[in-house]
Amino acid sequence: MLKKFLKNKTFIISFVILLPMVVVAIIGPWIIPHDPLEIHSDKVLQQSLPGYPLGTDEFGRDILSRLILGIRPTLIVALGATFIAFTCGSILGMSAGYFRGILEKTIMRIVDIVLCFPPILLALMVVGFWGAGINNLMIIIGIVYIPRFARLAYSSTIQVKGLEYVQSELSLGASHLRVVGKIIFPNILSPLIIQISLTIAAAILLESGLSFLGLGVIPPEPSWGQMIGQSRGYISSNPMYVLWPSLFLGLTMLAINLMGDSLRDILDPKLKTK
């Protein structure tokens, strides 16, 4: 299996991009050249200054330091939300597909209803009464993406449950927990893993979109989406200010998407895009 990963060029490329990102996210606070929150009202919106290679923002804060620390909320929200969506979604989907009956109907109807709301609108409304902030964003975005996993786990579970050896295992009197945990879950894991990479990408987009609208991470803490949203207004005075976070966000998204592609190739060559 590991060989398969190492042989896949796309996987290697995405890994080469993502690894430093994650490392920087972890060691960020120790390598930043300046305090990302410190205001220098005498050197605002500089394209580049000695000691400030990427320039400063409208508060005279170091853009490089803010970029480095800005990875954190983005990654924390994306990973946390995906974890929530994955856990809740898989459990709901598997129970619906395994037990069928009323449980199936209830769960899948609820999932359908959540799906009726475009993710960004649902998030927008919930942020409205719940307030922004990293923890809230994580939970909100997690809930928004539960249906994706629930539907996938549901249909895969039905498929796997129909297989002969599962049926025979069941007729031998194995407990539900054993069947679900030992047989069904490992068998539906591949499509779920692929979905995880897609969801991380979508969650980053959603978080950055909300932050762009000013409803995400609470200032003065930096986040990429928020930096892009703020910098948009200074496009004529410091165009590099909008360029850097955009570039890093795009690059990260690219790497995660490539990772998804390669996972699909490796884990399930037959699987379709959706």
Partner 1 sequence: MMKRLSLILSIILTLVLVTACGGTSEKTSKSESGGGAKKGGNLTFGLAGEPATMDPQIQNGTHGRTIKLAIYRGLLNYNKDGKLENELAKDYTVSEDQKTYTFNLRDAKFQNGDAVTAEDVKYTFERIIKPDSKATFKTELSIIQSIEVKDEKTISFTLKEPSAPFVHYLALPESVIVSKKWVEEKGENADPMGAGPFKFVSWTKGQDLVVEKFKNYYKPDQPKLDSIKFVFYPDENTRVNALRAGDVDLIETVPWKDADSLAKTPGIKLDSVNGPFMQLQFNTKFKPFNDPKVRQAIAYAIDRKSIINTAFSGRGEAIYGMAIPKGYMGYSDKVNKYFKHDVEKAKQLLAEAGYPKGFKARLLSTSQFSFHQQTAVAVQAELKKIGIEVELDLPDWATRINKNTEGDYDFVVAGTAGDITDADWLSNFYNGGDVRLNNSAYFNDPEINQLLIDGRKESDPAKREANYQKLIDRAMELSPFVYLSWREQSYGMKSNVEGFKNLEGFLSFQSGVTLENVYLK
Partner 2 sequence: MARILAVKISTVFIQVLVVATIVFSLVRIMPGDPAVLVLGTERGADPAAVKEMRHTLGLDQPVLTQYSNWISDMARFDFGKSLFDEMDVKTFISQRLPKTIELAIVAILLASLIGIPLGIIAALKRGGLVDMALSSIAALGISFPVYVVGTFLILFFSFKLFLLPASGYVDFAEDPINHIKRIILPALTLAFGLAATIARMTRSSMLEVLNKDFIQTLRAKGLSEKSVIFKHAFRNSIISVITVIGLELGGLIGGTVLIEYLFNWPGMSSLLVNSIADRDYPLIQGCIITIATCYIFVNLVVDILYGIMDPRTR
- Residues engaged in binding partner 2 (CB under 8 A): 109, 112-113, 115-121, 124-126, 128-129, 201, 205, 208-209, 212-213, 225, 228-229, 232, 235-236, 239, 242, 246, 249-251, 253-254, 257-258, 261, 272-274
Q: How far is the CB of 116 from partner 2 (least distance, A)?
A: 4
Nearer to partner 1, 37 or 158 (CB): 37
Q: Assess contact for 165 and 83: CB atoms under 8 A.
A: no
Residues near 44 by beta carbon (within 8 Å), at least 6 away in sequence: 56, 57, 58, 59, 60
- The angle, 0 to 180 degrees and rounded to 10, between the axes of the packed helices 134-161 and 119-130 is 140
Identify which of residues 22 and 27 has a Cβ nearer to partner 2 in the complex. Answer: 22
Q: Which does 261 bind (CB under 5 to 8 A by kind): partner 1, partner 2, none?
A: partner 2
- Cβ(122)–Cβ(144) under 8 Å? yes
Closest by Cα among 61, 40, 41 to 219? 61
CA distances (Å), origin 94, targets 20, 91, 148, 150, 186: 36, 5, 13, 7, 12
User: Minimum CB separation from partner 2 for residue 23, in Å?
Assistant: 21
Per partner kind, with CB cut-offs from 5 to 8 A, the member of partner 2, partner 1, none near residue 250 is partner 2
Residue 215 is a binding residue for partner 1 (CB under 8 A): yes
The residue within the footprint of partner 1, chosen from 29, 33, 118, 131 (CB under 8 A), is 131
